[in-house]
């Protein structure tokens, strides 16, 4: 055995450089830059916003499939990696961490909820990943962007609630409401709209009867007897309900059970309740009428130059019309792929520098994403015109827009019955 020791030692010594070389090669492979564009989605397939999230996810995948059928980005197919944020900030933060640290995406479409976006955006910024939300509307993001918190990595294709607050105030005035009480989900979305609505309504000589203490409820609440009683107690002309479908429908049922509906006080709602089947979800009265009949709400209009082509594609693929934030989701994904092609890079830092360039004038106006990619490859500047709006973005990542007025007809069908222009100012 001792005679073999030198040979064994030489073998071991010979193996060491090989092992080091293999480890070095493995490390180099692990650190190899990602050239294929990877985009993530952070959307609520489950939870309180699941009625929207699954459809939004379909829209993002449809956009990526469309792009891949016309050559992809940077000569390669775009990879889409999906995560369910469960409409929960903690779950959203965990999913965002996976997207940026494990999947190494360059951009993320999402989140839907403002609370989830708040939890996830710092993770995106820290990892230099672009985040474009289709529906997080809290004014907080504008304020933080103005302070430089997001370093240019945050955008959204839905206008902030400073604009919806003004639209709601104008709708209340048009309905002759002099007094309004507020009942809202206690999160970034609810609190942002409270902050936006009160001064806008007061500027129109309206009175918020519980201004000092609006009724707020936890996002995970399931019983609302005391909240409904407090909101309707002063018998205002209207109660502004700022909610999502799951909890909002329970609140409406509770209000019916307490006998406060159909009397002096009317119901105003926001975009969070604009779900095609909301009347069915809320249910019917003992007389067989829809409890939601006659409620009025606002939501950002989906009326961009690219809306009709998108409707055609949606009908062909899903046999249905796009839901409320599907056009915004399509546009968010489109901006990411167009910015990557323009930047000739799949890195988040390069993409963020080109978002405003592809979204805004003075480039050639174009609605079709494949045509836009062709123009970019030909060395031409573009001005993407979206399905949700013309998607002109300011330096804080915000878009403006008009607002639809919607209601529930006696048949239970959700109908858009008008529009409101807002004077929200971009800086």
Burial of 354 by CB count in 10 Å (0-12 exposed, 13-18 middle, 19+ buried)?
Answer: buried
385 neighbors 399 (Cβ within 8 angstroms): no
Can you tell me the distance from the alpha carbon of 73 to that of 93, in angstroms, rounded to the nearest whole number?
Answer: 28
For the ranges 15-24, 73-82, 369-378, the lowest mean pLDDT is seen at 15-24
Work out the average pLDDT over 104-126: 97
Can you tell me the distance from the alpha carbon of 309 to that of 386, in angstroms, rounded to the nearest whole number?
Answer: 10
What pLDDT does 302 receive? 76
What pLDDT does 34 receive? 53
**Distance in angstroms between the alpha carbons of the first and the last residue of the chain:** 83
Q: Which of 137, 143, 104, 100 is nearest to 122 (CA)?
A: 100
pLDDT over 90 (residue 20): no
What pLDDT does 422 receive? 79
Q: What is the DSSP-derived secondary structure letter of residue 187? A: S
Can you tell me the distance from the alpha carbon of 405 to that of 401, in angstroms, rounded to the nearest whole number?
Answer: 13
pLDDT over 80 (residue 83): yes
86 neighbors 116 (Cβ within 8 angstroms): no
pLDDT over 70 (residue 15): no
Work out the average pLDDT over 30-53: 84
pLDDT band at 162 (very low <50, low <70, confident <90, very high): confident
308-317: Cβ within 8 A, 24+ apart = 309/367, 309/368, 309/387, 310/387, 313/62, 313/66, 314/59, 314/62, 317/58, 317/62
What pLDDT does 310 receive? 96
Burial of 360 by CB count in 10 Å (0-12 exposed, 13-18 middle, 19+ buried)?
Answer: middle
Q: Which residues pair with 242 in a beta bridge?
A: 184
Q: Which of 241, 270, 238 is nearest to 253 (CA)?
A: 241
Encoding tokens for residue 281? 């979800």
Can you tell me the distance from the alpha carbon of 225 to that of 365, in angstroms, rounded to the nearest whole number?
Answer: 52
Q: Which residues pair with 135 in a beta bridge?
A: none
Q: What is the assigned CATH class of domain 162-302+402-420?
A: alpha beta
Instruction: Give Cβ neighbours of residue 242 (< 8 Å, ≥ 6 apart).
Output: 182, 183, 184, 185, 189, 190, 193, 194, 269, 270, 272
Cis check: omega of the bond before 362, within 30 degrees of 0: yes
Q: For 188-205, what is each residue's pLDDT tens digit?
A: 999 999 999 999 999 999
C-alpha 94, offset from chain centre = 18
pLDDT band at 424 (very low <50, low <70, confident <90, very high): low
Give the residue ranges of DSSP H helices in 131-187: 140-146, 161-174
pLDDT over 50 (residue 255): yes
pLDDT band at 19 (very low <50, low <70, confident <90, very high): very low
Q: What is the DSSP-derived secondary structure letter of residue 228? A: H
Give the architecture-level CATH label for domain 38-158+304-384: 3-Layer(aba) Sandwich (3.40)
Q: Do domains 38-158+304-384 and 162-302+402-420 have the same CATH topology?
A: yes
**Domain spans in the chain, listed from the N-terminal domain onward:** 38-158+304-384, 162-302+402-420
What pLDDT does 301 receive? 86
**Length reported for the chain:** 427
Can you tell me the distance from the alpha carbon of 388 to that of 330, in angstroms, rounded to the nearest whole number?
Answer: 8
pLDDT band at 3 (very low <50, low <70, confident <90, very high): very low
Tally the C-alpha atoms within 13 A of residue 27's C-alpha that lie toward its C-beta. Answer: 6
Q: For 336-389, what is each residue's pLDDT tens digit?
A: 999 999 999 999 999 999 999 999 999 999 999 999 999 999 999 999 999 999
* DSSP letter for each residue of 290-302: BTTTT-EEEEE--
Can you tell me the distance from the alpha carbon of 339 to that of 352, in angstroms, rounded to the nearest whole number?
Answer: 7
What pLDDT does 7 receive? 41
What pLDDT does 303 receive? 83
């Amino acid at each position: 055995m001792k005679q073999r020791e030198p040979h064994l030692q030489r073998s071991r010594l010979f193996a060491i450089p090989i092992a080091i070389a293999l480890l070095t090669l493995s490390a180099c492979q692990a650190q190899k830059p990602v050239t294929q564009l990877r985009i993530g989605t952070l959307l609520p397939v489950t939870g309180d916003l699941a009625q929207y999230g699954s459809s939004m996810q379909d829209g993002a995948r449809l956009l990526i499939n469309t792009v891949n059928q016309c050559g992809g980005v940077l000569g390669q197919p775009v990879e889409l990696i999906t995560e369910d944020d469960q409409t929960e900030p903690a779950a959203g933060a965990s999913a965002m961490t996976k997207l940026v640290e494990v999947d190494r995406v360059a951009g993320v479409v999402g989140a839907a909820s403002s609370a989830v976006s708040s939890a996830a955006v710092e993770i995106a910024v820290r990892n230099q990943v672009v985040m474009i939300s289709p529906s997080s509307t809290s004014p907080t993001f504008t304020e933080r962007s103005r302070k430089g918190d997001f370093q240019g990595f945050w955008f959204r294709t839905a206008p902030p609630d400073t604009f919806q607050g003004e639209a709601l105030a104008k709708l209340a005035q048009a309905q002759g409401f002099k007094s309004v009480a507020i009942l809202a989900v206690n999160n970034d979305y609810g609190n942002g709209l409270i902050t936006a609505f009160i001064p806008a309504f007061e500027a129109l000589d309206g009175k918020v009867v519980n201004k000092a203490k609006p009724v707020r409820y936890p996002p995970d609440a399931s019983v609302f007897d005391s909240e409904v009683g407090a909101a309707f107690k002063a018998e205002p002309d209207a109660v502004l309900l700022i909610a999502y479908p799951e909890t909002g429908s329970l609140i409406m049922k509770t209000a019916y059970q307490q006998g406060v509906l159909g009397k002096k006080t009317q119901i105003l709602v926001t975009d969070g309740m604009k779900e095609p089947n909301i009347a069915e979800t809320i249910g019917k009265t003992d007389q067989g009428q829809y409890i939601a009949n006659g409620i009025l709400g606002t939501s950002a209009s989906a009326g961009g130059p690219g809306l009709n082509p998108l409707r055609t594609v949606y009908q062909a693929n899903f046999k249905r019309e796009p839901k409320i934030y599907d056009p915004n989701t399509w546009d968010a994904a489109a901006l990411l792929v167009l910015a990557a092609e323009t930047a000739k890079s799949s890195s988040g830092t390069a993409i963020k520098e080109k978002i405003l360039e592809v979204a805004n004038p003075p480039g050639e106006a174009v609605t079709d994403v494949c045509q836009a990619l062709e123009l970019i490859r030909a060395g031409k500047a573009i001005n993407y015109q979206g399905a949700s709006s013309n998607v002109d973005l300011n330096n804080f990542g915000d878009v403006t827009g008009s607002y639809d007025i919607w209601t529930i007809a006696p048949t239970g069908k959700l109908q858009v019955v008008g529009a409101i222009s807002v004077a929200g100012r971009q800086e």
